[in-house]
Amino acid sequence: MWTEAGWSGRVELPAFTGFRDARGPYGRLGRASTRGAVNLSVAAESPLRATSPGRVSAYARFVDDQAGVAAAVAEALVRAAPRLSAVYPAFPTLRSVAEVREHVGLHCVHVRPDRRVGLELGCSWDPEHGLGVLLSGKRVVALGSAEVAFEA
């Protein structure tokens, strides 16, 4: 659906199958695992222009390498676990991709004005603020609360 703020819809991302369902309010996690259906948000360039070729290209690269992205996000969370457990008392022990899948779920893919892709995820340790991941290609460049995914 197109609005002046951008385009939004639902997409199927098979590489994210098996992560927790994060379709609740503000990306809250459900009990079941997802089949890869997530929200997509593409910020408008202007009220008269839906998007640019650069953003289309960024999203296409993300979709083409979604399996690599899913693995990179899980690996980044495993690496960041010591730092995150110091900030979040409820942070779980994460030692593998399988353990990450039990605690996070992809809520929304954001194609940002700066042509980067952000992932807004629900997580078990902070249901109010969630988890945000900013990507450069399939490399994780920032990890924090959900707004990391969509704020410039």
Q: How do strand 131-136 and strand 117-123 relate by DSSP bridges?
A: antiparallel
Question: Which pLDDT value is given to residue 6?
Answer: 73
Q: Whole-model pTM?
A: 0.91
Structure token pair of residue 106: 């992809």
Residues 20-48 have a mean pLDDT of: 78
**47 pLDDT more than 60:** no
**18 pLDDT more than 60:** yes
Question: Which pLDDT value is given to residue 86?
Answer: 93
Does residue 15 or residue 49 have the better pLDDT?
Answer: 15
* Alpha-carbon distances, residue 51 vs 3, 46, 47, 66, 110 (angstroms): 12, 8, 10, 21, 13
Structure token pair of residue 84: 């995150």
Q: What's the pLDDT tens digit per position in 78-123?
A: 999 999 999 999 999 999 988 999 999 999 999 998 889 999 999 9
Round the average pLDDT of the chain to a whole number and report it: 88
Every domain of the chain and the residues it spans: 2-149
